[in-house]
Amino acid sequence: MSSIQPPSQRVWWKQPLDRVEGTWIAIALLWSLIMFFMMPYWHVYGKQNTPGEAYRVVPTAYQKKAQEFVEKYTVRTEANGALPVVKPPAGSDVYLIARLWQWWPILELEKGKTYRLHLSAMDYQHGFSLQPENINIQVLPGYEHVVTITPNRAGTYSIVCNEFCGINHHTMVSRLYVK
């Protein structure tokens, strides 16, 4: 049989299934089901997924909230006064703005305390990647992402933008202090 000639038997698909073929279909089906149920399982029992919430927000409204947050809890500045370092009270809501090509402000958190980290972008899509932890969150304008975090190791962490956002994407880095 070729694709040019018509099949000799018109009803050619009513052949019994070969055992090997059936076995492979069963293996593939079983494996896809295992992978499917691993997703909810891993979300609950795996430790790498941050349960996130997301809300719609107008960028200017988010900026206002972040601005108020920064004005309230700034403890010092870095980069010759250009970047405020903000130390919010333990357990509070903390805000981070992603924009071309900056994370604003710098956060200083307390070890072992839980915070609700709010993330949103002012302009385009950015990516929040916390190094060396394995946290990756897409940051989009118009959406306020809220992630509950409990930093359990003191130190200086790096925040890297991992979604390409233009010519200076590679310079969009920041820090997060945990003390």
Alpha carbon 105 to its chain's center: 19
Q: Does 126 bind ligand CUA (CB under 6 A)?
A: yes
Q: Figure out which of the listed residues 83, 163, 174, 176 binds ligand CUA, where binding follows CB under 6 A.
A: 163
Q: How far is CA 65 from CA 29, 70, 130, 170, in A?
A: 49, 9, 23, 27
Smaller CB distance to ligand CUA: residue 86 or 165? 165
Scanning 72-80, 109-117, 128-136, 162-170 for contacts with ligand CUA by CB under 6 A, the matching segment is 162-170
Which CB sits closer to ligand CUA, 107 or 161? 161
Cβ burial of 107 (10 Å; 0-12, 13-18, 19+) is: buried
CA dist list (Å): 59 to 36, 43, 87:
36, 30, 23
Q: Is residue 141 a contact point for ligand CUA (CB under 6 A)?
A: no
Shortest reach from residue 101's CB to ligand CUA, in Å = 6
Residues 97-116 that bind ligand CUA (CB under 6 A): 101
Residue 118 as a binder of ligand CUA (CB under 6 A): the answer is no
Query: To the nearest whole angstrom, how small is the minimum distance from the Cβ of residue 167 to ligand CUA?
Result: 10
Taking CB under 6 A as the binding criterion, the range among 14-22, 43-51, 108-116, 161-169 that sits at the site for ligand CUA is 161-169
CB 175 within 8 A of CB 96: no
In the list 83, 165, 174, 176, the residue contacting ligand CUA (rule: CB under 6 A) is: 165
- The yes or no reply on residue 169 touching ligand CUA (CB under 6 A) is yes
Within 13-72, the residues that bind ligand CUA by CB under 6 A are none
* Site residues (vs ligand CUA, CB under 6 A): 101, 126, 161, 163-165, 169, 172
